[in-house]
């Protein structure tokens, strides 16, 4: 068994553990058994700086079951919020392992893949008993007089985690110096799970303002 496959199965079994399933020894899992066990509502804030695109602020809101399990395991003080030390525990125990899977985030810059190697400013919150993750993905693309295009989609190819668009799926921040166009659509070219699921994809095109 390849190491990447072993790591992938281990990650998803960690998710299954948090939603009430029992961990078994790592074994090959037929894809036909796959179905979502964790549900996420994803929102993307596209952040600009003086030079152009700076990156993406990501907000994930989880389903009630997964939320309750993470809160039960990491809210040690039982006060309904995460203290700084508890946030560090959540990051280490229920988030950092996603680096092996690019944090489920797929980015292309002018049609070329951009690998998410790390994220910054992770936080975990409890809002009305719902677990919220926030983190920042640096992605620097300088603006020019011609259009630059960046595409971002968040999904789990193995379909153990199902990702939906949240209430405010795409927001622009600090974009006043640039001409920006945005859209959301299904990416039918990157279908997964037996080619049955089309991921939601955010496309942002930007350039320096004329004049």
Candidate from 17-26, 100-109, 149-158 with smallest mean pLDDT: 17-26
Instruction: Collapse the DSSP code of 161 into the 3-class scheme (helix H, G, I; strand E, B; otherwise coil) and give the result.
Output: strand
From CA 25, how far away is CA 124, in angstroms rounded? 29
Q: In this structure, are residues 21 and 1 in contact, taking their beta carbons and an 8 Å threshold?
A: no
User: What pLDDT sits at residue 84?
Assistant: 97
Instruction: Please give the order of strands across the beta sheet that includes 161-173.
Output: 120-127, 130-142, 52-62, 38-48, 161-173
Percent of the chain at pLDDT exceeding 70: 83
59 pLDDT higher than 90? yes
24 with 35: CB under 8 angstroms? Answer: no
How many CB atoms within 10 Å of residue 148? 18
Judge contact between 28 and 114, C-beta under 8 A.
no
Tokens of 114: 């951009």
The beta-carbon contacts of 70-79 under 8 Å, at least 24 apart in sequence, are: 70/18, 70/94, 70/124, 70/131, 71/126, 71/129, 71/131, 73/18, 74/124, 75/126
pLDDT of residue 193: 87
Cβ(70)–Cβ(131) under 8 Å? yes
Residue 26 pLDDT: 36
* Residue 7 reports pLDDT greater than 60: no
pLDDT in tens, 84-103: 999 999 999 999 999 999 99
Distance CA 168, CA 165 (A): 8
What integer is the mean pLDDT of 61-80? 96
54 neighbors 139 (Cβ within 8 angstroms): yes
Task: Return all residues near 172 (Cβ < 8 A) that are at least 6 apart.
Answer: 45, 46, 48, 180, 182, 204
155 contacts 178 by C-beta, under 8 angstroms: no
For 137-193, how does the pLDDT look when each residue is reduced to its tens digit (9 = 90+)? 999 999 999 999 999 999 998 888 999 999 999 999 999 999 999 999 999 999 998
pLDDT recorded at residue 149: 98
Assign 29 a pLDDT band (cuts: 50, 70, 90): very low
Query: Across all residues in the chain, what is the average pLDDT?
Result: 86
Q: How many CA atoms lie within 13 A of 138 on its CB side?
A: 6
Q: 33-208 sits in which CATH class?
A: mainly beta
């Amino acid at each position: 068994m390849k190491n990447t496959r072993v790591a992938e199965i281990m990650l998803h079994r960690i998710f299954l553990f948090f939603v009430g399933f029992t961990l078994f020894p790592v074994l090959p899992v037929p894809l036909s058994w796959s179905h979502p066990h964790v549900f996420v509502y994803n929102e993307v804030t596209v952040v600009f700086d003086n030079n152009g695109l700076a990156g993406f602020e990501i907000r994930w809101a989880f389903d009630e079951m997964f939320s309750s399990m993470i809160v039960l395991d990491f809210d040690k003080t039982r006060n309904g919020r995460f203290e700084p030390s508890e946030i560090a525990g959540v990051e280490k125990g229920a988030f950092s392992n996603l680096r092996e899977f690019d944090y489920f985030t797929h980015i292309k810059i002018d049609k070329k893949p951009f690998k998410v190697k790390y994220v910054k400013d992770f936080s975990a919150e409890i809002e009305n008993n719902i677990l919220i993750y926030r983190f920042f993905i640096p992605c620097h693309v300088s603006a020019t007089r011609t259009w630059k295009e960046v595409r971002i989609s968040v999904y789990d190819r193995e379909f153990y985690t199902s990702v939906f668009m949240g209430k405010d799926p795409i927001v622009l921040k600090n974009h006043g110096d640039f001409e920006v166009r945005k859209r959301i659509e299904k990416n039918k070219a990157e279908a997964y799970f037996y080619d049955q699921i089309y991921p939601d994809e955010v496309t942002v095109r930007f350039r320096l303002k004329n004049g």
